[in-house]
């Protein structure tokens, strides 16, 4: 609050002098207000007061509020698993299944897996030797029983 | 009016009726307080802000009204303080001198869409802006509102003699400004 100097000048001013008008200016204020301002003001003020009276309630944190981010994260991982990993696994599984050997082949593979390297090589060499022997025997037989012309004709007849 | 104000204050203290009574108080005093504030801060927008703050303060402090003064005086005091606080805030905010605050108010006046005065009225407002804050307040209340010194004394908490002297000096300065700027 403004506190003016406590001085008594009441006798200095002639009565009525202080109320005279400034020539030409009048005593009317040169201001106006927007249309309907005083009609609307109480409602605007009321809205402000109601806004001020509405208590801003601090939300209490419940257990669910604390778990919500964790649950969200878990759900995201589950979604990624369902979208990416699951189909990928299915495709991989199908591809693996298509290369599964039949039962007889599987039996041979199992047998071979239990054979050591030395035995395996020996078996391979023996097999090759047998093939060579058969070939040589066939050659000897053909040379003894057929001439080249006979063989040529035989092949062309087929 | 006095009896009516007392009746209104009684209703303002009642929990059931306080909202309705406050609405009535606003309707009853809004125009008088608006024009009182407008003379101090000049622009409509600033006046609107100050008037809202005034009534918000009245609403918050209704329980503190002790009926030592009239309701009218109490409301005018709050409005005057809010308007001066507004001007001081401008001074602090912009770190400007008194002359620059006058320039700020002058600019606000000239850019205000709701000013509709003649050239001489504009000159009168410019002259009032040259006055120190206290004299400006007293001049406005006395010249435009023709408020009795006793009432002004209660609102401004100042002796009648000091108010008369302030007005006298202010009126002389205003007349000099206008005659020198014709």
Q: Which domain holds residue A156?
A: 102-158
Whether residue B149 sits in one domain with residue B105: no
Task: Establish if B111 touches chain A: CB-CB under 8 angstroms.
Answer: no
User: CA B72, B18, B46, B31 torsion: positive or negative?
Assistant: negative
Beta-carbon separation of A41 and B51 below 8 A: yes
Which of B106, B132, B5 has the alpha carbon at shortest distance from B58?
A: B5
Q: Where on the phi/psi map is residue B21: left (φ > 0), alpha (ψ -120 to 50), or beta?
A: alpha
| Same-domain pairing of B125 and B98 | no
What is the pLDDT, as a whole number, of residue A3?
38
CATH number at residue B164: 1.10.10.10
> Between residues B93 and B126, which one has the greater pLDDT?
B126
pLDDT at B80 over 90: yes
CB contact under 8 A, A38 and B52: no
User: Where a domain ends, among A76, A100, A124?
Assistant: A100
Assign B150 to helix, strand or coil.
helix
Give the model's pLDDT for residue B44.
94
The 3-state DSSP composition of chain B as helix, strand, coil percent (nearest 5) reads 80, 0, 20
Query: Looking at the complex, does the CB of residue B132 fall below 8 Å from at least one CB of chain A?
Result: no
| CA proximity to B18, closest of A46, A38, A40, A47 | A46
Minimum-distance CB partner of A10 among B52, B133, B161: B161
As a whole number, mean pLDDT of residues B112-137 equals 86
Q: What six digits make up the tokens of B17?
A: 């009726």
What crossing angle do the helices spanning B119-129 and B98-111 adopt, rounded to 10°? 160
In this predicted structure, what is the pLDDT of residue B29? 95
- Among candidates B29, B128, B51, which has minimal Cα distance to A30? B128
Q: How confident is the model at residue A18 (pLDDT cuts 50, 70, 90)?
A: low
A13 min Cα distance to partner chain B (Å): 7
Please count the helices (runs of H) and the strands (runs of E) in chain B.
Answer: 9, 0
Q: Are residues B92 and B29 in the same domain?
A: yes
Dist CA B111 CA A67 (whole Å): 57
Helix (H) or strand (E) segment spanning residue A123: helix A117-145
Q: Can you give the pLDDT at residue B15?
A: 81
**Segment of A49-58, A101-110, B62-71, B171-180 carrying the highest mean pLDDT:** B171-180
Each as own residue / partner, the long-range contacts of residues B20-27 (CB below 8 Å, 24 or more positions apart, any chain) are B22/A49, B22/B58, B22/B59, B22/B62, B23/A42, B23/A46, B25/B58, B25/B71, B26/A41, B26/A42, B26/A45, B26/B55, B27/A42
A102-152 pLDDT tens trace: 777 777 777 777 777 777 777 776 655 555 667 777 778 777 777 777 777
Cβ-defined contact of A38 to B178 (cutoff 8 Å): no
Q: What mean pLDDT do residues A94-101 have?
A: 60
| Paired strand residues for A31 | B115
pLDDT band at B104 (very low <50, low <70, confident <90, very high): confident
Interface check B136 vs A, CB under 8 A: no
Mean pLDDT of chain B: 86
Best residue in B161, B179, B181 for a mutation probing chain A (most A CBs within 10 Å): B161
- HSE (side-chain half, CA atoms, 13 Å) at B24: 14
Q: How many domains, in total, are found in chain A? A: 2
Q: Is residue A6 part of a domain?
A: no
Asked if B176 contacts A25 with a C-beta cutoff of 8 angstroms, the reply is no
CA distances to B16, B135, B179 from B108, in Å: 42, 20, 24
- Percent of chain B past pLDDT 70, that is, above it, reads 93
Question: Which of B70, B57, B69 has its CA nearest to residue B4?
Answer: B70
Of B22, B44, B162, Cβ closest to residue A33: B44
| Partner residue opposite A30 with nearest CB, options B44, B121, B164 | B121
For testing contact with chain B, the best of A29, A33, A50, A53 (most B CBs within 10 A): A29
Same domain, A143 and A131: yes
The answer to whether the CB atoms of A12 and B158 lie below 8 A apart is: no
Q: What is the CATH number of the domain that holds B52?
A: 1.10.1740.10
The model's pTM: 0.62
Indicate the residue among B112, B146, B173 that finishes a domain. Answer: B112
Total tally of structural domains belonging to chain B = 2
B31 touches chain A (CB under 8 A): yes
Nearest-10 Cα torsion for A44, A49, A51, A54:
-150
Name the closest residue on chain A to residue B45, using Cα atoms.
A33
Residues of chain A positioned with their CB less than 8 A from the CB of B35: 29, 31
Rg from Cα positions in chain B: 18
How many Cα neighbours within 13 Å face the side chain of A15? Answer: 0
pLDDT at position A100 is 62
Interval B129-155 mean pLDDT: 92
Q: Which of A2, A9, A27 sits opposite B164 (nearest CB)?
A: A9
Domain that holds residue B181: 117-182
């Amino acid at each position: 609050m403004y506190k003016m100097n406590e001085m008594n000048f009441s006798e200095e001013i002639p009565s009525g002098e202080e109320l005279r008008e400034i020539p030409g200016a009048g005593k009317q204020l040169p201001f106006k207000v927007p249309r309907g301002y005083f009609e609307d003001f109480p409602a605007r003020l009321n809205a402000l007061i109601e806004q001020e009276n509405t208590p801003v309630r601090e939300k209490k944190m419940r257990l669910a509020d604390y778990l919500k981010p964790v649950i969200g994260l878990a759900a995201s991982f589950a979604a990624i698993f369902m979208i990416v990993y699951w189909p990928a696994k299915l495709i991989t599984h199908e591809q693996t299944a298509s290369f599964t050997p039949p039962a007889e082949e599987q039996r041979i593979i199992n047998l071979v897996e239990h054979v050591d390297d030395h035995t395996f090589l020996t078996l391979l060499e023996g097999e090759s030797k047998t093939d060579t022997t058969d070939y040589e025997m066939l050659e000897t037989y053909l040379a003894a029983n057929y001439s080249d012309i006979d063989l040529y004709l035989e092949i062309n007849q087929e | 009016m006095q009896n009516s104000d007392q009746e209104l204050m009684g209703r303002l203290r009642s929990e059931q009726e306080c909202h309705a009574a406050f609405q009535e108080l606003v309707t009853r005093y809004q125009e008088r307080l608006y024009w009182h504030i407008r003379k101090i801060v000049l622009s409509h927008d600033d006046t609107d802000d100050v008037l809202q703050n005034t009534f918000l303060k009245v609403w918050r402090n209704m329980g503190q009204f002790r009926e030592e003064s009239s309701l009218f005086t109490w409301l005018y005091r709050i409005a005057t303080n809010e308007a001066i606080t507004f001007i001081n805030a401008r001074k602090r905010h912009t770190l400007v001198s008194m002359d620059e605050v006058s320039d700020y108010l002058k600019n606000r006046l000239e850019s205000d869409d709701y000013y509709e005065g003649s050239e001489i009225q504009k000159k009168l407002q410019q002259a009032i802006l040259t006055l120190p804050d206290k004299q400006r307040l007293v001049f406005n209340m006395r010249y435009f509102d023709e408020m009795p010194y006793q009432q002004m004394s209660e609102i401004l908490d100042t002796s009648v003699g000091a108010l008369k002297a302030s007005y006298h000096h202010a009126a002389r300065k205003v007349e000099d400004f206008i005659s020198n700027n014709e």
